[in-house]
Amino acid sequence: MSEFAQIDGYVADTAYPSKFHQSFQAPWIDAVLAMRGIVPPRAEGDAFTLVDLGCGDAIGLTLAAASHPQGRFIGVDAIPDHIARGQAVIDGIGLDNIELICGGFADIVHRADASADYVTAQGVLAWVSADNRAAMLDLARDWLKPCGAFCVGYNAYPGWNAIAPMQALVRAIALEKQGNSTQRFTAAVDHARRTGAVQDGIWDWLDELREGIAENYFAHEYLNAHWQPCWSGDVITAMGDRGLAYVGQAGNQRLRDDFCYTHDWRAALADFNSVAAREIAADLLTECWFRRDVYLKMPALGFDGDEQSAYRMGSRWALSLGVEADMAMTSPTLSGEMNFDNAAARAILSTLGNGPMQLSDIGAQSDISAVDLLNTIDALFVANRVVPVDAAVAHEVSGRVNRWLADNDIRINGRATPNGAVMA
């Protein structure tokens, strides 16, 4: 059995593709917290610190740094090639508010100084060893300030139950193939498919997924020695043991229970006393395969009286990528189709067609009540028609990073803007 380069069992012989994740941006996390009555770690325009654990080549983090000059950004990754690639981009652009650290989570515990308003970790928890998982969660706890937010994305059960056997077979075959991890993955999939041991529907799913995605992504996804989707209750319990309380989901499909769950689901979930049990049950009902959990380092601060409404009316929004004026005013949700065809939705979408704006300004222009605007912005958020952003800053810097990446043929699914980094 031959081996390819790994770091604690994680694929390290090829680079993970450059990726941008909208729901791990500070304005998005703030919006999720405010929806649930929790005061976010910062006010719009304030200085803040965001630490990204498992940042890959950090180009997505670089877009955020270029869009938020008032922010301080720290990226951590164990693969030297990732850090070298990211540092070359940072140096080329000339950014001075982002720092990259190369090292395993357990190796950098001394850097965690309770200075972060946000810690993020996308696509790490379910791909690394148990020791590294624990070290990563410890870092999140130790790097965050009180009232700081942790957003973590991970593969979850039960959604991966049908796919896990394919991963186990493909990895076992890949270890006996030759070449780099990407070549081994391709050869292993072809070999496993020929055996007929995996259901055809799984291959159909994988074939569709592979269209338009760099092949080295799949080696990183499926060939890690410690690949293991998580039960949400275990993650919630582990974070609770560290003093971080579960807040909710950051993914569009589960932002608001009354928009995303059936009446029967909500009634069933109300019977659970523990958050861990409730979330496992919710994952079973929705056949969840990926979660984006948001946690808050205790103690949490809640809004008083009318503060929540005032804060949320002051929030700023932009149209999501690809939204057009003539799109249907409906959207599929986990519980069926949601219809948001009302005056408030039309006013919001029409106004945001001219650029980002605060809800309060939309209300002043349209004479629509705050209650209607807030309910409708939540529906549009669930439907992925709008995205939370910040006040405009850094016009020159955000434009420079986009031009530099384009001139150097570095492709990523995001871009920097004066209002924050967004999908592209």
Tens-place pLDDT, residues 149-178? 999 999 999 999 999 999 999 999 999 999
pLDDT of residue 55: 98
pLDDT of residue 395: 65
In order of 50, 254, 329, 363, 368, the CA distances from 371 in angstroms are: 32, 21, 19, 10, 8
Query: Which of 241, 382, 389 minimizes the C-alpha distance to 315?
Result: 389
Phi-psi region of 18 (alpha: psi -120 to 50; beta: other; left: phi over 0): beta
DSSP state of 305: T
**Alpha carbon distance 73, 421 (integer Å):** 13
**Alpha carbon distance 259, 66 (integer Å):** 34
Helix pair angle (395-407, 59-67), 10° resolution: 150
**Alpha carbon distance 220, 379 (integer Å):** 35
DSSP state of 254: G
Q: Are 118 and 216 in contact (CB under 8 A)?
A: no
How many residues belong to the chain? Answer: 424
pLDDT of residue 306: 94
pLDDT of residue 1: 41
pLDDT of residue 394: 60
User: 56 by DSSP, 3-state: which?
Assistant: coil
Regions of the chain where pLDDT drops below 70? 1-2, 394-395
Phi, psi of 203 (to 5 degrees): -70, -40
**Alpha carbon distance 140, 151 (integer Å):** 9
Angle made by CA atoms 184, 188, 189, in degrees to the nearest 5: 120
**Alpha carbon distance 111, 88 (integer Å):** 23
H-run or E-run covering 20: none
Q: Cis omega before residue 299 (within 30°)? A: yes
pLDDT of residue 2: 55
Q: Please report which residue ranges of 53-125 form alpha helices under DSSP H.
A: 59-67, 80-93
pLDDT of residue 313: 98
Phi, psi of 186 (to 5 degrees): -60, -45
Question: Which residue carries 């939204």 as its tokens?
Answer: 323
